[in-house]
Amino acid sequence: MNTQTAPSSFLRKIIIISTLGGLLFGYDTGVINGALPFMTEELGLTPMTQGLVASSLLFGAALGALFGGRLSDLNGRRKNILMLSVIFLVATLGCTLAPNVTVMVISRFLLGLAVGGASVTVPAYLAEMSPANRRGRIVTQNELMIVSGQLLAFVLNAILGTTLGHVEGIWRVMLLIAALPAIFLFIGMLKVPESPRWLAYKKRDSEALAVLNRIRSKEEAKIELAEIKASFSKEDTKQAGFKDLGTPWIRRIMFIGVGIAVVQQITGVNSIMYYGTEILKDAGFTTKAALVGNIANGAISVLATFLGIWLLGKIGRRPMLMAGLAGTTASLLLIAIFSSALEGSPNLPYVILTLTVTFLAFQQGAISPVTWLMLSEIFPSQLRGFGMGLTVLFLWMVNFFVGLLFPIMLAGVGLSGTFYIFVALGLLAIAFVAKFLPETKGLTLEQLEQQFRNFDKNTAIPSYKEKKRA
């Protein structure tokens, strides 16, 4: 009894502490939604500098994802998260105290480096700590923390904006709140161990076994260490890089990873997460009503993620992603149709709010959990940091362009035309998943690597059901 309870308890501690990185990810990307209107007046922002303030974090996140993955391969997942917590804190203080636009943009860029690094390193760390039969639920708890951070930002934005919006510098308080989880993340990561797979990769087998003994039963720990060591052939003991893309099976993994990352973003989810207030205002709500209504978007994201975590234990990644994309694309189509058909109607803002909530239920309940889970599990250990870094670089760059172009599209072709564009992109995403995405449910990380190595152009990775029958 005790031998099972202790590992489970310690693993829970690791999950709670490390996913504070996800909470920071969510809060820092969501807080600008409400802080920007107040910041604009005090710092004298123009439309151009508003865009710079909002998108500088996303550009930093793209670079942070690329280099964060490499650094986590070099120095270890735990040490990388510790470093990121310091950057989170310093950049948060820089944003809070920024006297002008230049300091704000630089600080937001630095904050983006931490957000991007966390988006790569935390899921990889969780995947390497998780047993195969629980990996889906454990890794997607980071997605739960991301949307919880966004909800927290939306709620605090609404409370502070509606009650203290007249107080000079209230936006600084909104930004400063992120310093607390950054401090807790740093302190917490001092108390948890390094990834056993990274330790084994560095030939520190005794340390790897000691960590596994703390999060598995002793028998499971020995078996898992043997599997990890067996997956490291002599030619794989070097850090992966761009030259490895010449290997067909690695190139195929990278293609799938980049595709998954792009699919998550071209749904247009972050047009709603960043500009939800503006969308609701465009539909007919007042500013205060839109600020409060935006809380519904954050709340449904959290509830849907709970559902997504439960579903990942029941069904495969591939059908879940297909269902999510079908739901988001249908929701976007309805937004496009009704925003045109009900233009000028007092019912339009309520219809749009209902549809954005429906869209986020499918996005956060299916697409986002599957995205982060598959990106954390499809890459073998020696490729994980580089692979996640490169694929999440694409994710953040698409995110950057969506954030940058959405207001321009909204002004140019209107709400209806903008969402018709996202409908077309959604159909392309469905086609990609149907043609290229393999099923990975139920396989250990080592088995997944072997499946990709053995992949032949005339065969496919077996589905979860086929694997069970075999």
Give pLDDT tens digits for 345-393: 889 989 999 999 999 999 999 998 888 888 878 887 777 778 888 888 8
What confidence tens digit (pLDDT) does each residue in 191-235 have? 999 999 899 988 899 999 999 999 888 888 898 898 888 877 544
- Tell me whether residue 223 is in a domain: no
Half-sphere exposure of 465 (CA within 13 A, CB side): 5
Say which CATH number the domain at 272 has.
1.20.1250.20
- Tell me whether residue 210 is in a domain: no
Q: Which of 42, 49, 296 is nearest to 169 (CA)?
A: 42
Question: What's the confidence (pLDDT) of residue 461?
Answer: 43
pTM across the whole model: 0.75
- Tell me whether residue 206 is in a domain: no
- Residue 99 phi/psi, 5-degree rounding, is -85, -15
Residues 135, 121: Cα–Cα separation, whole Å: 15
- Residues 24, 178 contacting (CB under 8 angstroms): yes
Question: What's the confidence (pLDDT) of residue 444?
Answer: 64
Give the three-state DSSP class for 131: coil
How many helices (H) and strands (E) in the chain?
A: 21, 0
- Tell me whether residue 216 is in a domain: no
How many domains is the chain partitioned into structurally?
Answer: 1
Other C-beta atoms closer than 10 Å to the C-beta of 470 total 6
Question: What's the confidence (pLDDT) of residue 457?
Answer: 45
Half-sphere exposure of 142 (CA within 13 A, CB side): 31
- What is each CA distance from 372 to 74, 109, 169, 176, 264, in whole angstroms? 22, 23, 36, 27, 9
- Tell me whether residue 213 is in a domain: no
Other C-beta atoms closer than 10 Å to the C-beta of 323 total 17
- Tell me whether residue 198 is in a domain: no
Give the tokens for residue 330: 């249908």
Dihedral sign, Cα of residue 12, residue 16, residue 17, residue 19: positive
- Tell me whether residue 205 is in a domain: no
Q: Which of 209, 192, 173, 227 is nearest to 14 (CA)?
A: 192
Each of the 470 residues of the chain gets a pLDDT tens digit; together they read 344 445 678 889 999 999 999 999 889 988 887 788 788 888 888 777 877 888 888 889 888 988 887 888 889 999 999 999 999 999 999 999 999 999 999 999 999 999 989 988 998 899 889 887 787 778 888 888 988 998 999 899 889 988 887 888 999 999 999 999 999 999 999 999 999 989 998 889 999 999 999 988 888 889 889 888 887 754 455 556 677 777 788 888 889 999 999 999 999 887 887 777 778 877 888 777 877 888 898 899 899 988 988 888 788 888 999 999 999 999 999 999 998 899 888 899 899 999 999 999 999 999 988 888 888 788 877 777 788 888 888 988 898 888 778 877 887 888 899 999 999 999 999 999 999 888 777 666 667 777 777 764 444 444 444 444 44
Residues 441, 458: Cα–Cα separation, whole Å: 22
- Tell me whether residue 354 is in a domain: yes
Other C-beta atoms closer than 10 Å to the C-beta of 194 total 20
Question: What's the confidence (pLDDT) of residue 452?
Answer: 74
* 218 secondary structure, DSSP code: H
Residues 88, 91: Cα–Cα separation, whole Å: 5
Question: What's the confidence (pLDDT) of residue 240?
Answer: 61
Residue recorded with tokens 């005339």: 458
Residues 129, 415: Cα–Cα separation, whole Å: 44
Q: Which of 375, 378, 372 is nearest to 447 (CA)?
A: 378
- What is each CA distance from 344 to 284, 411, 419, in whole angstroms? 8, 17, 18
- Could you tell me how many residues make up the chain? 470
* 455 secondary structure, DSSP code: -
**Owning domain of residue 248:** 9-192+233-469
